[in-house]
């Protein structure tokens, strides 16, 4: 089989072969207004220029993907097909070349104006690890966990694009031995390696969305780092769940990989036993074989396998709407921390260091339990793509400021 | 003291004397586009027409208050002062008369495009009642409750305006005796009588907002009914808090009462012991003396006193941002169910009927534990206003559909 190739040069190790075509929002050097683009190799193609003078072009000449996403799956497919043709045939090479910008010369923005943000908890290994740490002596996995994808709403106003500096949050904490809570900067600042899903086409209030309608509503996926202050979280989270321990910042990658690029990555979820209720049973699997990599100050500290997530993103969507809650363009939901069964597959520092008991040693000889000021965390991910190529997600990175 | 009066007729029992001037969004009969207005007696004044041809007028000729709110507190005060003058002097009576519409002839819309929605849990009586029911034998009030206003994020996409029909949600429930969860329409559909607060002026990420800056950021208050499916909630809520038990619908009143109209309603919160951490200590009190009334099918079933809420809305705002989370125009936060110490002051059916044990008897002889299809719930509230007048909130109402 010959892989489809673009005439735009794509380095062999690129995250962005023509089989990927992830969407982002960027401002070119020497321009003032953001617009929608698609990444190809080391370049971004300005889609607003390709469709200039049309209603679609107007929807692409904006600071978020939302207006494009609202157009729905038929139009998503049309644009992807057209961009693929532009990049693989040379029929309009001059037009394309005039609107290619080097990615390293543009400014990338938050790709989506986030409507509601929900975070799930879909890794059995992660939920078990946290249960053991937060409720020692109790049942690690709570009784509801295998019946529904546990989730909660987070703060959409503090979702930021990769590269945004993360200020260490202040707040209340109280250890079991402290007589009263104390106030101060978090001393247990952590990460959570997740994949986020972006809703493109909304749904009507009162009408649950069927699990098999996933790709008619969800447009694509991003990398997501759900920064977490474990000390703040541990003190506040009963009985209504995490609040300030999470709401200070959530970082996502600048590129939204469309589901259409992830067809070859689809896998069955692990066996779900007991069998879920019918509204959660998918006919076609939407587990995804993504290999995630977590770097702390350039050292790989974990390689969580997304294929092992117990609940699929389609099941998360179906669950979110089963009570009649509507979806809106721009809704974002995170998978929850992705952790595998092995010690070096855990997607958070609290698991990697077992709540600080087993510090990590970095290549420079320093050790970490939780994040220190100046630390940078970067998530990357790869998936099998069409034609045997590798689909990459770019990265989501952030540096902690004290 | 002579009360300030409008030349626009205001019935003696009106919620909307000239000392109130709440903001809403409406479409007049025979018009097609929504615009911002202020209620006076039985009328609404079209503010977009008053400021026609100006940038402010353009910000008022839209389908939400957000563009007006974004202008900030100096402009809020200017508009209020100018509207007060228009309605109390007759200098521009012809202009005003040409732009008054009878409220019962216009269509009222959701007043705010909701950014993030947070729900608190600030009534000690409510938290104690629910603790006793959900965690029998345990501590009713959890250890963190008197140290911070417990809250969590809810779904902003399903906040709807008063009058919107509420469809009974489906979902999973599992009683302690059930071997496995079952799926079906909620059989414990409930209300929560709350007051909501609307953020007008945002804040920068990373910068906590001081408790005493409340009125520089929060614009006003609404009535809020946080519809709740207790059976869904009880099964899902550990460990990450309520999700589908709440996210199907939240109703708010059509009129946003500005804080400027509530100066005479300000009272101290109950004594807070232990003393809160310094970031939660307010110099000037922002407790509010609102008398809430809950009607079920036109029968008053409860009269919760908002003055007894343990945490003030200013403390809720300070807590929300103390970790550096930003505020955005359109953020909405609910106080949590308002319940007083007396049995007929409880703000939810689960408390009024003690989780179904003590059914309510309605005037028609029927009884209720939770809501039945066709039931209507209406919240109203009154506060002392300037000049000894009564400030009303209009109402938030909703009817359950099966």
| A287-301 pLDDT tens trace | 999 999 999 999 999
Q: How many residues does chain B have?
A: 402
Q: How confident is the model at residue A1 (pLDDT cuts 50, 70, 90)?
A: low
- A331-379 pLDDT, tens digit per residue, is 999 999 999 999 999 999 999 999 999 999 999 999 999 999 999 999 9
CATH fold label, A23-109: SH3 type barrels. (2.30.30)
Q: What is the per-residue pLDDT for A181?
A: 98
Task: For chain B, report the end-to-end CA distance as a whole number of angstroms.
Answer: 52
Contact A239 B150 (CB under 8 A): yes
SS3 (DSSP) at A163: coil
Nearest to B235 among A117, A144, A243 (CB): A144
Shortest Cα–Cα distance, A240 to chain B (Å): 4
Residue of A32, A101, A109, A126 marked catalytic: A126
The secondary structure of residue B15, as a DSSP letter, is: S
- A377-386 pLDDT, tens digit per residue, is 999 999 999 9
Q: In this structure, what is the dihedral angle of CA atoms B329, B330, B331, B336, given to the nearest 10 degrees?
A: 140
Nearest to A248 among B160, B278, B324 (CB): B324
Residue B382 has pLDDT above 90, yes or no: yes
Shortest Cα–Cα distance, B14 to chain A (Å): 34
Residue of B43, B101, B126, B319 marked catalytic: B126
Q: How many CB atoms lie within 10 A of CB B231?
A: 24
Q: How, if at all, do strands B266-267 and B287-288 pair?
A: antiparallel
Q: In this structure, what is the dihedral angle of CA atoms A307, A117, A202, A384, given to the nearest 10 degrees?
A: -20
Shortest Cα–Cα distance, B323 to chain A (Å): 5
Q: In this structure, what is the dihedral angle of CA atoms A68, A200, A26, A44, given to the nearest 10 degrees?
A: -80
Nearest to A277 among B154, B183, B324 (CB): B183
Instruction: Check if A23-109 and A117-401 are the same fold.
Output: no
Sequence-distant (6+) residues with CB within 8 A of B139 are: B131
Q: CA-to-CA distance for A44 and A15, rounded, in angstroms?
A: 13
Nearest to B241 among A152, A167, A181 (CB): A152
In this prediction, residues B85-99 reach a mean pLDDT of 98
In this prediction, residues A84-96 reach a mean pLDDT of 97
In this prediction, residues A49-64 reach a mean pLDDT of 98
User: Which residue of chain B is at minimal alpha-carbon distance from A202?
Assistant: B157
The number of CA neighbours under 13 Å toward the Cβ of B204 is 3
In a mutagenesis test of the A interface, which of B138, B157, B277 is the best target, namely the one with the most A β-carbons within 10 Å? Answer: B157
Please compute Rg for chain A using Cα positions.
Answer: 21
Q: How confident is the model at residue B254 (pLDDT cuts 50, 70, 90)?
A: very high
Query: Is there a catalytic annotation at residue B217?
Result: no
| Arithmetic mean of pLDDT over chain B | 97
Residue B1 has pLDDT above 80, yes or no: no
- B109-143 pLDDT, tens digit per residue, is 999 999 999 999 999 999 999 999 878 888 899 99
Residue B244 has pLDDT above 80, yes or no: yes
Q: What is the per-residue pLDDT for A301?
A: 98
Shortest Cα–Cα distance, B84 to chain A (Å): 34
Name the percent of chain A lying above pLDDT 90.
97
Chain A neighbors of B166, CB-CB under 8 A: none
Q: Is the ipTM of this complex over 0.95?
A: yes
Q: How, if at all, do strands B218-225 and B193-199 pair?
A: antiparallel
Chain B neighbors of A179, CB-CB under 8 A: none
In this prediction, residues A26-47 reach a mean pLDDT of 97
Q: What is the per-residue pLDDT for A325?
A: 98
- B30-75 pLDDT, tens digit per residue, is 999 999 999 999 999 999 999 999 999 999 999 999 999 999 999 9
Chain B neighbors of A398, CB-CB under 8 A: none
The domain locations on chain A are 23-109, 117-401
- A258-270 pLDDT, tens digit per residue, is 999 999 999 999 9
Q: What is the per-residue pLDDT for A363?
A: 96
Nearest CA-CA partner of A338 in A192, A167, A185: A192
Q: What is the per-residue pLDDT for B117?
A: 98
- A105-125 pLDDT, tens digit per residue, is 999 999 999 999 999 999 999
Buried b (16+ CB within 10 A) or exposed e, B325-341: bbbbbbbbbbbbbbbbe
Q: How confident is the model at residue B332 (pLDDT cuts 50, 70, 90)?
A: very high
Instruction: Name the least confident of A1-5, A313-317, A382-386, B329-333.
Output: A1-5
Contact A322 B153 (CB under 8 A): no
Contact B205 A232 (CB under 8 A): no
Q: What is the per-residue pLDDT for B176?
A: 85
Residue B87 has pLDDT above 80, yes or no: yes
User: Which residue of chain A is at minimal alpha-carbon distance from B336?
Assistant: A240
User: Which residue of chain B is at minimal alpha-carbon distance from A245?
Assistant: B323
- For the domain made up of A117-401, the CATH class stated in words is alpha beta
Contact A152 B151 (CB under 8 A): no
**The pair of three-digit structure tokens given for residue A188, joined into one six-digit string:** 């247990």
Q: How confident is the model at residue A138 (pLDDT cuts 50, 70, 90)?
A: confident
In this prediction, residues B196-217 reach a mean pLDDT of 98
Residue A136 has pLDDT above 90, yes or no: no
Shortest Cα–Cα distance, B268 to chain A (Å): 24
Cβ pairs bridging A and B (under 8 Å)? 188
Phi-psi map region of B171: left, alpha, beta (phi>0 left; psi -120 to 50 alpha): left
Contact A327 B157 (CB under 8 A): yes
Contact B324 A240 (CB under 8 A): no
In this prediction, residues A322-329 reach a mean pLDDT of 98
**The pair of three-digit structure tokens given for residue A321, joined into one six-digit string:** 């709407």
Report whether B214 contacts B156 (CB < 8 A): no
| Arithmetic mean of pLDDT over chain A | 97
Q: How, if at all, do strands A117-120 and B182-185 pair?
A: unpaired
Pick the CATH number of B23-108 from 1.10.3720.10, 3.40.50.1000, 1.10.10.10, 2.30.30.230: 2.30.30.230
Contact A323 B160 (CB under 8 A): no
Contact B152 A241 (CB under 8 A): yes
Report whether B340 contacts B308 (CB < 8 A): yes
In this prediction, residues A267-286 reach a mean pLDDT of 97
């Amino acid at each position: 089989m010959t892989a489809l190739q673009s005439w735009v040069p794509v380095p062999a190790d690129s995250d962005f072969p023509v089989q990927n075509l992830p969407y982002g929002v960027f401002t070119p050097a020497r321009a003032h207004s953001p617009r929608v683009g698609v990444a190809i190799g080391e370049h971004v193609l300005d889609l607003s220029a390709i469709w200039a003078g049309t209603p679609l072009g107007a929807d692409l000449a904006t600071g978020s993907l939302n207006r494009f996403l609202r157009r729905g799956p038929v139009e998503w497919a049309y644009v992807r097909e057209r961009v693929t043709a532009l990049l693989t045939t040379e029929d309009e090479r001059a037009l394309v070349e005039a609107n290619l910008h080097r990615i390293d010369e543009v400014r990338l923005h938050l790709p989506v104006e986030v409507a509601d943000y929900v975070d799930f908890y879909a890794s059995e290994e992660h939920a078990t690890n946290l249960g053991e740490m937060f409720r020692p002596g109790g049942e690690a996995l709570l009784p509801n966990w295998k019946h529904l994808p546990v989730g909660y709403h987070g703060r959409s106003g503090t979702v930021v694009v990769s590269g945004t500096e993360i200020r260490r949050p202040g707040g209340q904490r109280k250890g079991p031995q402290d007589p009263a809570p104390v106030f101060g900067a978090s001393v247990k600042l952590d990460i959570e390696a997740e994949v986020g899903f972006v809703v493109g086409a909304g749904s009507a209030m009162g009408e649950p969305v069927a699990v098999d309608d996933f790709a008619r509503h969800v447009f694509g996926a991003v990398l997501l780092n759900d920064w977490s202050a474990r000390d703040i979280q541990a003190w506040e989270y009963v009985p209504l769940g995490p609040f300030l321990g999470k709401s200070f910042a959530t970082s996502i990658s600048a590129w939204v990989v469309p589901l259409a690029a992830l067809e070859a990555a689809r896998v069955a979820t692990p066996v779900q036993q007991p069998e879920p209720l019918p509204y959660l049973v998918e006919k076609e699997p939407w587990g995804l074989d993504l290999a995630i990599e977590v770097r702390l100050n350039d050292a790989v500290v974990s390689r969580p396998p997304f294929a092992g997530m117990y609940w699929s993103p389609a099941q998360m969507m179906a669950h979110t709407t089963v009570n009649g809650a509507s979806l809106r363009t721009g809704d974002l939901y995170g998978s929850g921390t992705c952790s595998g069964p092995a010690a070096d597959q855990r997607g958070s520092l609290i698991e990697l260091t077992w709540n600080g008991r087993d510090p990590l040693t970095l290549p420079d000889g320093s050790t970490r339990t939780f994040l220190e000021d100046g630390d940078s965390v970067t998530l990357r991910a790869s998936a099998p793509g069409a034609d045997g190529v590798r689909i990459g997600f770019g990265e989501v990175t952030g540096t902690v400021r004290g």
